[in-house]
Chains A and B, each alone.
Chain A
Amino acid sequence: MSAPLLEVDGLTVTFPTARGPVDVVKGISFTLGRERLGIVGESGSGKSMTGRSILRLIRKPGKVTARRMTFDGMDLLGRSERQMRDLRGARISMVMQDPKFSLNPVMTVGEQIAEALVTHKKLPRRELKERVLAMLEAVRINDPARVAGLYPHEVSGGMGQRIMIAMMLIPEPDLLIADEPTSALDVSVQAQVLDIIDDLVTGKGMGLILISHDLNLVSRYCDRILVMNSGEIVEQCKASDLHNAQHPYTRGLIAAMPRMNEDRDELPVLDRSTWTTGAGT
């Protein structure tokens, strides 16, 4: 890791509510090189908001502020909406949770993947088609020519998620943000999809931010882990050191998970009073 790909310093995301503004992300800082970073936390911990704010995808009335947020030397906060659009997809892309809601239902799979590429680069039609088919093959879809002609409702969930990944990776971005990429999928398919992401990311030397609530999964696929709770980073550690986590919240999360070889009679439950500063909303 030489110069970091992404630098985030003091990122705050605020939403106004009837009881005054609420910070859902409270001044967090981290850097990312060409490595795999996992962000874990429960619902409402601000992990998805962190991912979205990097792409400036927080809609009004939400507000993103930071002391500094740079990607490859560029200031993300100072860029116009148009300049952001050039970045999104081409340099930083994002895989969303549910392929059912994220694919365009009235476009074929092939057209959608091609669109992701054409938006940023003009290509002759033949080459475009070849690139799309090659990408579908890279995400291990059998018979890519047939699948390219299908509509999203004609493919299964696992296939849909692989199509999303194909679409996000075809412009060859430098950073991929995967927000719960597999929580809508079956366990057996989950592993396949993550292996594909992992292969492509390590093969091309990209940076990856994997956002998930599943500690096991993140520790298997990432190099480094950030644990978030109510908008703050409570712990940073190497994935391999996760079992030595210090913070009571992280330890609580690990303990609360049933194990394959379960012999405890009762699962320990998080005692939220020990570390939360204020109760969540």
Chain B
Amino acid sequence: MTDAAIHLENLTISYGDTAVVHDVTFDVAEGESFALVGESGSGKSTILKAISGLAPDWTGSIAVEGKPRGHSPDRTFAETCQMVFQDPYGSLHPRKTIDTCLAEPLAIHGIGGRDGRVKDMLAAVGLDQRFRFRFPHQLSGGQRQRVAIARALMLEPRVLLLDEPTSALDVSVQAEILNLLKKLRREQGLTYLMVTHNLPVVSFLCDRLAVMRYGRVVEIAGVDALKSGQLSDPYSRELYAASGGILHPA
């Protein structure tokens, strides 16, 4: 076993009889930020779901922080790996205050000092303390996404799975959230596995990327190849051109 933060080997994920991800193998190193890009239906979000336990019908192997992941819900796993979802309007409980929402993972895991931890976490994600006893509908989209990130970080996980964390937000708010994610990674040494279809976001936040199509990884490249437009797979190049990049010969 390597010392990779996330290790996927021959991972095949199915919904019922249909396999949607085929034989995916890659490692994400400790402290690395890795992106999965591709169009809808390419299976990128499904990989995150399998890792977090939301898509339990898989074969192959998944290991996070050196520990293999089983198929059933796993409480200790939640302490090392957490997920942030795409839509901050749908991922927060509408009838729970921000305080309840953030304290809940602590209560489940029997961790004390909740009051202080919630306060610290709000400060860490750049939210004023006055938001603590508000409900999600009283917050803007960007503020809600901050809460969602704070909730994911409450258990101090080492690995964060990010499923299109900024695609529901305006560009100016997206910039704030991207800066926040970058800052948190620098301060806490987190490992990110991020799903997105926005290549410039990858360029800003990630070290490496995997391009997916029809449930398979077609190319894994460093972010430098993306920045200089030197992706080699024809499909990756198509995606790159569609995002407004200028191609250079590979």
Q: Which residues of A contact B (CB under 8 A)?
A: 42-43, 157, 186-191, 213-216, 220, 252-253, 256-270
Q: A187-B198, A220-B244, A262-B204 are in contact. Are A256 and B172 (CB under 8 A)?
A: yes
Task: A189-B39, A260-B243, A262-B203 are known; give 13 further A-B pairs, CB within 8 A.
Answer: A186-B40, A188-B39, A252-B172, A256-B172, A256-B174, A258-B203, A258-B205, A259-B200, A260-B199, A260-B227, A263-B227, A264-B204, A269-B175
Q: Which residue of B lies closest to A270 (CB)?
A: B172
Instruction: Give residues in B with beta carbon < 8 Å to A.
Output: 39-40, 141, 170-176, 178-179, 182, 197-201, 203-205, 226-229, 238-240, 242-245
A103 to chain B, nearest CB (A): 18
B171–A261 touching, CB < 8 Å: no
Quick one: which of A188, A189, A220 has the most chain B CB within 10 A?
Answer: A188
Query: What separation, in Å, do the CA atoms of A118 and B28 have in the docked complex?
Result: 57
Q: Is the CB of B197 within 8 A of A187?
A: yes
Contact B238 A188 (CB under 8 A): yes
Do B203 and A215 touch (CB < 8 A)? Answer: no
Known contacts A188-B239, A216-B244; is-contact A262 B227 (Cβ 8 Å)? yes
Residues of B with C-beta under 8 A to A259: 200, 203
**Given A43-B141, A43-B170, A220-B244, CB of A260 within 8 Å of CB of B226:** yes
Interchain CB contact under 8 A, A267 and B199: no
- Does A261 lie within 8 Å of B228, measured CB to CB? yes
Residues of B close to A264: CB separation below 8 A = 204
A39 to B129, CA, bound (A): 37
Q: How far is the CA of A260 from the CA of B174 in the complex (A)?
A: 15
Say whether B203 contacts A257, CB under 8 Å.
Answer: no
- B141–A266 CB distance below 8 A: no
Q: Which residue of B lies closest to A280 (CB)?
A: B140
Nearest CB in chain A to that of B37: its residue: A187
B238 nearest CB neighbor, chain A only? A188
B205 to chain A, nearest CB (A): 8
Kindly list chain A residues whose C-beta atoms are within 8 Å of the C-beta of B174: 256
A267-B242 in contact (CB<8A): no
Q: Using CB atoms, name the residue of chain A closest to B166.
A: A258
Contact A267 B175 (CB under 8 A): yes
B242 and A188 contacting across the interface, CB-CB below 8 Å: yes
- Docked pose: A268 CA to B175 CA in angstroms: 7
In the bound assembly, the distance between CA atoms of A179 and B183 in angstroms comes to 35
Q: Is the CB of B242 within 8 A of A187?
A: yes
A43 to B114, CA, bound (A): 35
| CA–CA, A252 and B172, complex, Å | 8
The 6 closest A-B pairs by CB, nearest first: A256-B175, A267-B175, A258-B204, A258-B200, A186-B39, A262-B203
Q: For A42, A189, A260, A262, which residue has the most chain B Cβ atoms within 10 angstroms?
A: A260
Contact indicator A257/B178 (Cβ below 8 Å): no
Q: Are A267 and B178 in touch, CB under 8 angstroms? A: yes
Collect the chain B residues with CB atoms within 8 Å of residue A213's CB.
Answer: 170-171
Across-interface contacts of B238 in A (CB, < 8 A): 188
Determine if A253 and B172 form an interchain contact, defined as CB atoms under 8 angstroms apart: yes
Query: Which residues of A sit under 8 angstroms from B205, Cβ to Cβ?
Result: 258
**CB distance B171 to A253 under 8 Å?**
yes
A256 to B174, CA, bound (A): 8
Inter-chain contacts of B240 with A (CB < 8 A)? 260
**Chain B residue at minimal CB-CB distance from A213:** B170
A-B contact pairs, 16 of them (CB 8 A): A42-B170, A157-B40, A187-B243, A188-B242, A190-B242, A220-B244, A256-B175, A258-B198, A260-B229, A260-B244, A262-B203, A264-B204, A266-B182, A267-B204, A268-B175, A269-B179
A244 to B178, CA, bound (A): 25
Most buried by B among A213, A258, A259, A265: A258
Tell me the complex Cα distance, A190–B205, Å: 23
**Nearest-Cβ distance from residue A185 to partner chain B, whole angstroms:** 8
Cα A269 to Cα B171 with chains together (Å): 10
| Contact in complex: A262, B200 (CB < 8 Å) | yes
**Bound complex: CA A214 to CA B204 (Å):** 18
Given the contacts A215-B171, A260-B226, A261-B227, A187 and B239 also touching, CB distance less than 8 Å: yes
Q: Smallest CB–CB gap between B59 and chain A, Å?
A: 28
**Which B residues are CB-close (under 8 A) to A186?**
39-40, 197
A269 lies within 8 A of B172 (CB)? yes
- A265–B185 Cα gap in the complex (Å)? 13
Q: How far is the CA of A274 from the CA of B238 in the complex (A)?
A: 40
Please determine whether B203 and A269 come into contact, CB atoms closer than 8 angstroms: no
B239→A266 contact, CB < 8 A: no
CB distance from B206 to the nearest CB of A (A): 10
Q: What A residues does B176 contact at CB under 8 A?
A: 269
> Does A191 contact B242, Cβ atoms closer than 8 Å?
yes
**Beta-carbon contact of B170 and A258 below 8 Å:** no
Q: Complex: how many Å from CA A259 to CA B242?
A: 14
